[in-house]
Structure 1
Amino acid sequence: MRGIITVLSEVGRMLADQAEEPADSLILEHFGLEDLDDTSLKQYRQRFASRTPDHPWLSEDTNGLLSKLGGWRRDRTTGKEGLTVAGLLMFGKMETIQEPDGIPAFHLDYRERPADTSQVRWTDRLTLDGTWAGNVFQFYQRVIQKLSADLKIPFRLDQELYRKDDTIVHEAIREALVNALIHSDYRGQGGVVIDKFPDRFEFSNPVVC
C-alpha cells in the first residue's frame, strides 16, 4: 500500500509539472481519448482509489480526471479543448505519441549494464519495442521497480506501525527518475536514458531550456 501511494503521488507530480511547461500544456489538434492507453488510465484510477477512495476527482469521467491532472485543457479564448502534450506523454499509446503531429522524437530507454561491457552491453533492457504501452506512466512504474530491486530494506515501523519499506536511497533514486522524466525535452534528440550499473545509476535526458 505504501508503494502504491508513492507511485501515485510521483506520477501526479510528473503530470502536473509537465503541464506547467508552456509546450506541454498546448492542446493537440486531432488527438483525443482514443489515443490514450486504456490500461494506463485504469491503473492510475485504481491506484488513486486505493489511496484516497473518497476523493471527489474519482467521480469524474476520463475527461474530467485528465482536466484535474493537466492532461486535458480548454482554451477560454478560443473555446478549443482537447488532449494536452502532457496528457499524451503520460498516458498515450507509443505509436500515437511518436506520430509526426505528436512527439516523433519521443524515446525512453532503461538498461542494466554489467561491470564489464566489452562482451555484453546490457543484461536487461526496457525500451520502446512495442511490447508495452510505451508512455511515461508505464515507464515509471516498471523502471522504479528495477532500480530499487537490489536495494536492502531494513525492518522498521513508522508511527502508524506500518512497515517502512523506504530508505533515503530509495527516495534519492525516485527523485532522480522523476526529475529525469519531468525535465526532459521530449522533442530533443536521444530521449530519456537510464543506466543501472553494479555500482551506480546514470540518468540522462535532453534538458528543457
Structure 2
Amino acid sequence: MNEKELLEIIGKGESHMTEFKKSTTDITKDVYESICAFSNRDGGHVFLGVKDNGEIFGIEPNCIEKMKKDFVTAINNANKMYPPLFLTPVEHELQGRKVLHIYVPVGTQVSRCSGRIYDRNNESDIDITDNEELVYKLYARKQGTYFVNKVFPEWGMDVLRPDIIERARKMTRARSNNHPWLSMDDEELLRSAGLILLDHESRREGITLAAILLFGKDTTIMSALPQHKTDMIFRVQNLDRYDDRDVIVTNLLDSYDRMSEFAKKHLNDPFVLDGMQSVSARDAILREIISNSLAHRDYSSGYVAKMVIEKDRIFAENSNRTHGYGNLNLNTFEPFPKNPAISKVFREIGLADELGSGMRNTYKFTQLYSGGVPQFVEGDVFKTVIPLNETATMKSGPKSSDQVSDQVSDQVGSDAVVEKILEFCKTARTKKEISEHIGYKNLTYMTRTYIKPLLESGKLSYTIPEKPQSRLQKYMTKFNFKTKQ
C-alpha cells in the first residue's frame, strides 16, 4: 500500500478492522492479542508507532529491525500464536516518521494467542476463552462461513498430487528464500495453510475442499465438486458462437496456467512504460482477474465461471457470495475475503497479493493497456469488465479472400447494401437469408458491418429481443423507418 492509502486508513481512526499501537521500541503483548482478534473476526490493519488518537508518533529507527525480527519469530511460534500466522510487518515512512504496518487476513481456523481466544468488538479485543457460547459461535462461523472448509475425513493424502504441492512449495521462493514451507513435508504444509481441519460432526480430521481444489487429482475434484469448471472463450470474428474455446476442469494451479496461456494466445502485448520501466500490462491484468476468479469464486454454486475475450473488452464472471450489489468504487471499496484458505495459498506462492490490491492494480494497468476504466460489479455473479482497444486483439497477416471480396463490395456500394437489407427485411428474415440475399459469403463480417450498426441505429429490430443470440432469431425493418422509394 502507498503512503496516501495508509494515511486514509489511519485518518478514519480505530475500528473493528483498524488498531493503533504506540509501540516505539518493542512489541507489546497486546499487539498479538489484536492480531489474534482480527484473524478470528474480519481481518484488519495494525499500525505500530501510531497513538490511539491517530497521531503518528513513530518508531525509534534503531529498533525497527529488532522489532521486525521479534514479531516474525513470535507469530510463527505455535506456543505464542496457534495456528502460526505467516505475517510480515512492512516499514513505511509517514509524515517523516517510521511506522510498521501489519495486514492481518481473516483466518480459516480459530486463532489462539498464548492459549487464549480473542475476538474483535468495535475497537476492542475481547478474551472470549471462558465464554462457551461465544467460542462455539466462533467455531461454527469458521466452519460454516466458507464452503471450501468442508472436511473429507475419509480421504487421505493419496487423493492429492504431490507434484502440485511441490510446485507450490518451490513457488514460495518468489516471496522468500527462507519461506517456512520449504522445510515442511506435505502434511505439515497443508496444516500450516489451514487445509487440514477437524470435522465437528465426526470429530475426525481430514483434508478440506480447498486442499482438493488446489492440489487434488482431477478425478478427486470431480468426485468432490462435479460442478467445478471454467469456460474460456475467444469471440471476435464468429460473434454467434466463438473463434476458440477451452473448458478447464482441473486443479486451481493448472487452471491458472491454462487460463493465462489461453488469454495470452489471443491478446497482444504492446510496449508499455510504467514511469521509466517497460512492463507487460497485459500480463499484470490477466494475473489479477484470473487469480480473483479462482480464489474468490463461490464453489457451492453450479454457475459456470467464464472468461470471454471480445473485440472491445474482456469480461469474467463467477458465482459470488455477495456483500453488496452494484458497481464497486475504488475509493470506497472494502475487500471481504471469500475463500481465505485458497487466497492464503495464492498469496504465499505469488499468484495474488494483499486483499484489495488486485482492484487497484487492475485500474492502473488497464489505463496503461487500453486507456479505459475497468468495471467491477458485485452481485450473486461477480463480473469484471476490462475495456480493450483495437491493438489488443488485432491480428497481422493477409486477409481471407472472402473478407477482401466483402470489403471491396462494401466500399463500392455500402448505401445500396443497406437499402437492400432494409427492403428485404420488411418481412422478418434470418441472418443467413440476409447474407444470401445480398451475396455475402462471410457471415461474421456482414453481421459486424451491416446488421449490428442497423440494430444500434434502430433501423432493424430483433424478433426475439430478450434472446439476441437465439438460433431462432430473425431481423425486421422497423415500421417507422422508411426505405428510399
What is the TM-score of this pair, normalised by structure 1?
0.71
Cα deviation, residue 83, structure 1 = 0.7
Q: Indicate the residue corresponding to 1:37 in structure 2.
A: 161
Given that residues 196 and 205 in structure 2 are in contact (C-alpha distance below 8 angstroms), is that contact kept between their aligned partners in structure 1?
Answer: yes
Instruction: Note if contact 2:233-2:246 (Cα within 8 Å) is conserved in structure 1.
Output: yes
User: Within 5 Å, which residues of 2 pair with 1:125-144?
Assistant: 125-128=246-249, 134-144=250-260
Select between 170-179 and 87-96 the one with higher mean Cα deviation: 170-179
Q: Residues 34 and 171 from structure 1, CA distance in 2 versus in 1: closer, same or farther, beyond 3 angstroms?
A: same
Q: Is 1:89 the counterpart of 2:205 in the alignment? A: no
* Distance of 2:158 and 2:296 partners within structure 1: 27
Map 1:34-183 onto structure 2 (within 5 A): 34-49=158-173, 51-74=175-198, 80-99=204-223, 102-118=224-240, 121-128=242-249, 134-149=250-265, 150-154=267-271, 165-167=279-281, 170-183=283-296
1:100-147 Cα distance to aligned partner (Å, 9 max, x none): xx22222222222233233x523242423xxxxx11111012212332
| Aligned-residue offset at 1:50 | 5.2
The residue type paired with residue 150 of structure 2 is: L
**Which residue of the partner structure matches residue 314 of structure 2?**
201
Q: Which structure's residues are more often strand, by fraction? A: 2
Asked if the contact 2:237–2:243 (Cα under 8 Å) also holds between the matched residues in 1, the reply is no
Q: Distance in 2 between matches of 1:204 and 1:154?
A: 28
What is the 5 A alignment of 1:11-22? 21-22=145-146
> Post-superposition shift, 1:170?
3.9
C-alpha distance 90-170 of structure 1, shift in aligned 2 (>3 A): same
Write the distance in 1 (CA, Å) between the matches of 2:228 and 2:260: 20
Task: Give the C-alpha shift of residue 34 in structure 1.
Answer: 1.2
> In structure 1, how many angstroms separate the alpha carbons of the residues matched to 2:214 and 2:291?
12
The 1:166/1:80 distance shift into structure 2, 3 A limit, reads farther
CA distance in 2 between counterparts of 1:35 and 1:125 reads: 25
Cα distance, 1:79 vs. partner? Answer: 5.7
Percent identity over paired residues: 22
Give the match's secondary structure for 1:171. Answer: helix
For 2:296 and 2:175, the matched residues in 1 are separated by 26
RMSD of equivalent CA atoms: 3.2
Structure 2 stretches of 5 or more lacking a match?
A: 1-104, 109-141, 323-485
| One-letter code aligned to 2:160 | L
User: Is 1:187 matched up with 2:309?
Assistant: no
Q: 8 Å contact 1:70–1:86 — kept in the other structure?
A: no
Contact 2:153–2:206 (CA<8 Å) still a contact in 1?
yes
User: Take 1:108 and 1:17, find their aligned partners in 2: how far apart are those partners?
Assistant: 26
Q: In 2, are the aligned partners of 1:31 and 1:83 still within 8 Å (CA)? A: yes
SS of 1:205's equivalent?
Answer: strand
Quick check: 2:232–2:262 contact (8 Å CA) kept in 1? no
AA at the equivalent of 1:208: R
Aligned-pair distance for 1:173?
3.3
State the distance in 1 between where 2:310 and 2:161 align: 31
SS at match of 2:309: strand
